[in-house]
Amino acid sequence: MGDLTPLFQPESAAVYGASSGPSRKLGNTLLSNVAVSLPDVRCVHPTAESIDGFPATATLKSPVDLALISVPARAAESAVLDAVTAGARALVVLSSGFAEAGLEGRAVQERIVDIARQHEVPLIGPNCMGVVSQLSGDRCLNASYFWEVPTGPGRLSFVSQSGAFGGMFLSFLGAKNLGLARFVSLGNAPDVTVTDALRWLGDDDRTEVIGVFAEGIPNGRAFVEVAGDVTSRKPVVILKGGRSQAGARAAAGHTGSLAGDHRIYEAAFRRAGVLQVDSSVQFFDTLRSLSVVRRGLTAGRVAVVTVSGGPGVLAADAADRSGLTLPTLTQQTQDRLRWLVPEFAAIGNPIDLTPQCRPEAMVDAVLAVYESREVDGVVVINCGLDITEFGAAVADAVRRTGVPTTAFLLDVPKVIAEVSAVGVPCFDSPEAAVHGIAVAIVDRRGDSNSEMRRNR
């Protein structure tokens, strides 16, 4: 595999497969997307002289960083040869109809891989959706078929064999107002694999959290070695498809992947320190947690702060299942709280301030919990009691102390607005909010999947 920098940080691109006629093709979408962010974009077309206002030539006349190929599978071989002959430094073949389509398609796929490797040019795809990546300044490269992508910079990078699941990920970022570092859809991945992408992202300064959706991982030994190195520096979260027999058959038809025995994958992930999750919901929740709650906790001592007692009990139960502890607050902290909250409030942990807590006392009460030395993280719970002062108290405590915080907030738009303004992620259940803290514990190497296994 060649260097992936031209893939994620190109300054020039060539597009194969845009149409000059009235019928619009996916290649035209690709051209429109990439032209927004790159100063040098060229079109290659056998007959057209211009496409969508861009000059077109029958062959690529000079080198480019990135060649984007969106032609039918039968024409892909000549397009790849033309691109690498002209000096393209990276290739993305987005077209379908290769190994996932049968023996004939597999033969074409093998030939284009051979051409790329002979010229030492990395090839992404075929049968993929493309690449999205932050460039210098405020530019975001959209070298994909997706019309809309999150353009704001962020810490999350994502490697996906599935283009559709990649679209789910990009939609998730937009819905949660999270930024993106890098995204790559690998498709059939006969050349650049999950392991190759992981290796590059491990050294990427923009990437702090990596998500992976994989249907099959060739050369498991290399994956374990690379992933083990990367997870020593930044968290890697993986959702593995094709775990059942039916799923494995679907993977073979989708990307031509051999899914393999999932028990072997589980052992490999565990050895590499990868966080394995079992569902798309848990996958996205985990990535969001790690992108917001900095992975720096060295112990699992958590406080639950609420004005809604029942859900706080559920959070305490979830913390126990997750291997976290809810330490009883020191007498000094409890004495401090006793002056501020009603006499019937719970001040041990969970801390239930109750709806009767005076609004003007909430800032000091919440801050007392955050400043207690026995607490490493806080889970905030509120159901239906939209007390602005409660949200403001949490936001103030987060600003002052920097203590990692997650929340479960239901039907409290004012509270949500206050805590979201300081970057507190809000989850859909008390259990998910606890999980958001649990994955931030750094002392999980070698047992990073313990909570996931217990909760199956």
Average pLDDT over residues 108-119: 97
Tokens 């020191």: give the residue. 330
pLDDT band at 260 (very low <50, low <70, confident <90, very high): low
What is the number of residues in the chain? 456
- Rounded Cα distance between 66 and 91, Å, is 6
Residue 193 pLDDT > 70:
yes
Q: Who's near 163: CB < 8 A, 6+ residues apart?
A: 127, 128, 129, 145, 185, 187
Distances (CA, A) of 269 to 216, 225, 228: 13, 11, 9
Average pLDDT over residues 334-350: 93
Q: Model confidence over 138-176: pLDDT tens digits? A: 899 999 999 889 888 999 999 999 999 999 999 999 888
Q: Who's near 426: CB < 8 A, 6+ residues apart?
A: 406, 407, 408, 409, 416, 419, 420, 433
Average pLDDT over residues 337-352: 93
- Residue 95: predicted pLDDT: 95
Distances (CA, A) of 310 to 328, 349, 382, 455: 18, 13, 10, 21
Q: Model confidence over 71-91: pLDDT tens digits? A: 999 999 999 999 999 999 999
Residue 450 pLDDT > 50:
no
- Closest by alpha carbon to 27, among 59, 57, 68? 68
Residue 364 pLDDT > 50:
yes
Give the predicted TM-score (pTM) of the model. Answer: 0.83
Average pLDDT over residues 308-318: 87
- Closest by alpha carbon to 226, among 451, 452, 1, 441? 1
Q: What is the chain's mean pLDDT, rounded?
A: 88
Q: Model confidence over 36-52: pLDDT tens digits? A: 999 999 999 999 999 99
Q: Model confidence over 213-236: pLDDT tens digits? A: 998 888 888 999 999 999 999 999
Neighbours of 47 (CB within 10 A): 7
- The answer to whether the CB of 259 falls within 8 A of the CB of 216 is yes
**Concatenated DSSP letters for 170-208?**
HHHHHHTT--EEEEEE-TT-SSS-HHHHHHHHHT-TT-S
pLDDT band at 308 (very low <50, low <70, confident <90, very high): confident
Average pLDDT over residues 407-421: 95
Cis peptide before 425 (omega within 30 of 0): no
- Residue 209: predicted pLDDT: 94
Distances (CA, A) of 1 to 27, 118, 181, 406: 26, 11, 22, 40
Residue with the bigger pLDDT between 314 and 256: it is 314
- Closest by alpha carbon to 406, among 429, 384, 385? 429
- Residue 443: predicted pLDDT: 38
- The answer to whether the CB of 210 falls within 8 A of the CB of 159 is yes
Residue 258 pLDDT > 50:
no
- The answer to whether the CB of 175 falls within 8 A of the CB of 200 is no
Beta bridge partners of 156: 180, 209
- Residue 199: predicted pLDDT: 97
- Rounded Cα distance between 276 and 286, Å, is 10
List domains and CATH numbers for the chain: 1-127 (3.40.50.720), 129-293 (3.40.50.261), 296-438 (3.40.50.261)
- The answer to whether the CB of 213 falls within 8 A of the CB of 21 is no
Map 115-141 to HEC letters. HHHHCCCCEECCCCCEEEEECCCCCEE
Residue spans of alpha helices (H) in 232-275: 245-255, 262-272
